[in-house]
């Protein structure tokens, strides 16, 4: 890379902490309705950190925010911090990457321990071998090296070639915002743009109460107590969940929706390019893996029609338009799950407390906005109209509610490599019964979780099974605790759930 390109990408070398006034990523973030904040990492010199996540979730602004924090709060010399966007590399080879890193280390050598941020590392072929070589040569012993990638599956498998080089325990996920994050970061801002004083005060108080209240699935009585604390704000949480069901946790569509809703003169519809960008993310991951768009479209169409239903890969293959073979369907579905486009749910073997890999599966999209974007692409229709139909149709809304529960239960305990979702989250079925989710909490207890997104479900709707003593029913309105079954409104339940410390 030319030195002029490197200098352009590192404005803090000239401006110090004031670079935030000149950086385009900061400008776009601060001009949005919300400037989103994500989790932190404790930096360790000589370690390699990896962040996996799809495009559009805010990995680059996360890096820039942390560079600003290092300079402002940790008093790190700006000249000891370097950033490279790997999609600007002309050749995209490990040799080019190695030259760039060596040059940066030379430039920063006189300024103490160094920080190197490599964004979108997936644009460099065989990057893992170059990082391994640099580490083995001792060139990274005084460096914090962080790499991010938007091809999560590929990054995951390449990172596995770096054991013993400061990577273990330093792999993180950056996915769309959870509903709790969404509520905490949007409620004060929405309140500031609301003329209704009652709503303004309620949103501000919700923010304060929810900040101090969190739920855990390890002790259900405490969860019930927390739910009762925030239950008075259910109306506000329901309104916010209605927005979240359309925008998902992607910052850009959230900002577009809220801007148009609360700032006069900004139009009435979201930018269709936001939906199109998600489809490009899906297709980009497919193409980079050497797979075909046509088959991907058939597989996604079949999954979309059976959202939330259980089926085998054989049945899914038979439901494709051109009869795609079962091994191909399996390969595509698992690849899309690796890329954080889909969530695969296995049936549990209650005796072994592990997944029945050959039994029927359930497949959900990983975020509401991904669902709406893909549906729009499959049907050739306006994406915002598609999302509104989901909100207005009770059957579709119930499926969307299940998607949200799957998404949030997965984020609650997952740890890259060490604890994958299939080790603690499943569903159950036999000849007579089916339970939407089986969740293993940190105390190793199994919880049955049913989504009954209706006004007044009954305890009789829950068919208990041997080996599972505690049940949660997620409803529209009900909150009560009877006969070993706790009922929570969906919006209240999701607002209480935090994420694992490896989910930023």
Q: Of the ranges 117-121, 247-251, 274-278, 360-364, which one carries the lowest mean pLDDT score?
A: 274-278
* Dist CA 492 CA 336 (whole Å): 30
Inter-residue contact 287 to 301 (CB < 8 Å)? no
Q: Which tokens hold the place of 315?
A: 């049945």
Paired strand residues for 48: 145
Answer yes or no: CATH 3.40.50.300 is held by domain 3-173: yes
Closest by alpha carbon to 146, among 79, 64, 76?
64
Mean per-residue pLDDT for 103-123?
A: 91
* Dist CA 37 CA 180 (whole Å): 13
* Dist CA 307 CA 416 (whole Å): 26
Average pLDDT, the chain: 89
Closest by alpha carbon to 504, among 23, 42, 33, 25?
42
For the chain, which residues make up each domain, given as ranges? 3-173, 179-262
Q: Is pLDDT above 60 for 163?
A: no
Provide the 3-class DSSP secondary structure of residue 455.
coil
Question: How confident is the model over 292-339, as pLDDT tens digits?
Answer: 889 999 999 999 988 889 989 999 999 998 889 999 999 999 989 988
Inter-residue contact 169 to 50 (CB < 8 Å)? no
DSSP state of 408: H
Closest by alpha carbon to 8, among 85, 97, 98, 108?
85
* Dist CA 278 CA 281 (whole Å): 5
Closest by alpha carbon to 341, among 430, 391, 396, 403?
403
Question: How confident is the model over 29-66, as pLDDT tens digits?
Answer: 777 888 888 999 999 999 999 999 888 898 999 999 99
This prediction has a pTM of 0.92
Who's near 232: CB < 8 A, 6+ residues apart? none
Question: Secondary structure of the chain: what % helix, strand, coil (to 5)?
Answer: 50, 15, 30
């Amino acid at each position: 890379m030319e030195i002029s390109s490197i200098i352009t990408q590192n404005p803090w070398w000239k401006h110090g902490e004031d670079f935030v006034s000149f950086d385009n990523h900061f400008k776009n973030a601060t001009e949005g309705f919300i400037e989103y904040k994500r989790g932190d990492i404790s930096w360790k010199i000589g370690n390699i950190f990896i962040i996996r996540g799809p495009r559009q979730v805010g990995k680059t602004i996360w890096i820039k925010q942390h560079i600003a924090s290092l300079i402002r709060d940790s008093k790190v010399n700006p000249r000891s911090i370097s950033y490279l966007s790997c999609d600007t590399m002309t050749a995209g080879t490990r040799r080019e990457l190695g030259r760039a890193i060596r040059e940066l280390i030379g430039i920063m050598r006189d300024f103490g321990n160094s920080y190197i941020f490599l964004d979108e590392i997936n644009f460099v072929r065989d990057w893992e071998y170059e990082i391994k070589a640099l580490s083995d040569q001792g060139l990274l012993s005084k460096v914090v090296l962080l790499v991010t990638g938007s091809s999560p599956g590929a990054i995951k498998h390449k990172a596995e070639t770096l054991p013993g080089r400061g990577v273990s325990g330093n792999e993180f996920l950056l996915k769309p915002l959870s509903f709790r994050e969404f509520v905490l970061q949007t409620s004060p801002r929405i309140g500031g743009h609301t003329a209704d004083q009652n709503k303004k005060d309620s949103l501000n108080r919700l923010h304060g109460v929810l900040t101090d209240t969190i739920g855990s699935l390890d002790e259900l009585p405490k969860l019930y107590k927390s739910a009762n604390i925030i239950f008075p704000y259910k109306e506000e949480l329901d309104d916010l969940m209605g927005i979240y069901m359309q925008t998902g946790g992607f910052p850009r569509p959230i900002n577009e929706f809220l801007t148009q809703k609360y700032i006069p003169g900004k139009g009435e519809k979201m930018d269709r390019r936001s939906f199109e960008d998600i489809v490009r993310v899906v297709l980009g991951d497919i193409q980079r893996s050497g797979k075909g768009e046509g088959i991907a479209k058939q597989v996604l169409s079949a999954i979309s029609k059976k959202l939330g239903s259980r089926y085998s890969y054989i049945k899914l293959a038979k439901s494709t338009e051109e009869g795609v073979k079962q091994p191909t369907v399996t390969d595509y579905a698992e690849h899309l799950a690796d890329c954080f486009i889909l969530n695969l749910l296995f049936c549990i073997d209650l005796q072994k407390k592990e997944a029945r890999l050959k039994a029927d599966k359930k497949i959900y999209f990983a975020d509401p906005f991904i669902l709406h974007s893909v549906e729009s692409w499959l049907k050739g229709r306006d994406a915002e109209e598609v999302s509104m139909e989901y909100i207005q149709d009770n059957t579709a809304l119930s499926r969307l509610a299940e998607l949200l529960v799957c998404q949030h239960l997965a984020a609650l305990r997952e740890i890259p490599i060490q604890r994958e979702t299939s080790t603690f989250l499943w569903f159950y079925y036999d000849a007579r019964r089916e339970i939407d989710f089986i969740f293993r909490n940190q105390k190793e207890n199994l919880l049955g979780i049913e989504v009954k997104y209706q006004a007044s479900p009954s305890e009789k709707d829950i068919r208990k099974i041997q080996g599972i003593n505690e049940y949660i029913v997620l409803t529209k309105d009900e909150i009560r605790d009877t006969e070993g079954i706790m009922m929570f409104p969906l919006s209240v339940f999701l607002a209480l759930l935090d994420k694992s410390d490896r989910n930023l």
